[in-house]
Amino acid sequence: MSPSRSADYAAEMILFTVSNLFISVALPASIQFFPVTQMGLFFLSQLTLDALVGSRIVRFLGGLCESFYIDLFV
């Protein structure tokens, strides 16, 4: 396995772990305090898929912030 390939694989595994932790811990906790709309949940699911498939940490975090902004202020 080439170094760049192993780095991509490591980044993908980290994103997978972080997204699983987010879905299992942070999302249920946020639903208790903030009413999360169906559109907000759709954004979160799309962002998780984008992060896992594309393994781009910046795009994942930027989209996550964007989805919370849209969900809370619109």
Which of 38, 50, 17 shows the shortest CA–CA distance to 58?
50
- pLDDT for res 63: 66
What is the rounded distance in angstroms from the CA atom of residue 38 to the CA atom of residue 19? 19
- pLDDT for res 6: 72
- pLDDT for res 25: 64
Number of domains in the chain: 1
- pLDDT for res 10: 75
- pLDDT for res 34: 54
What residue numbers bound the domain in which 38 lies?
A: 3-73
Compute CA distances 48 → 1, 3, 4, 11, 71, whole Å: 26, 25, 23, 14, 16
Divide the 74 residues of the chain into consecutive groups of 10 and give the mean pLDDT of each group: 67 74 63 58 66 59 62 52
- pLDDT for res 69: 56
What amino acid is encoded at 32 in this protein? Q
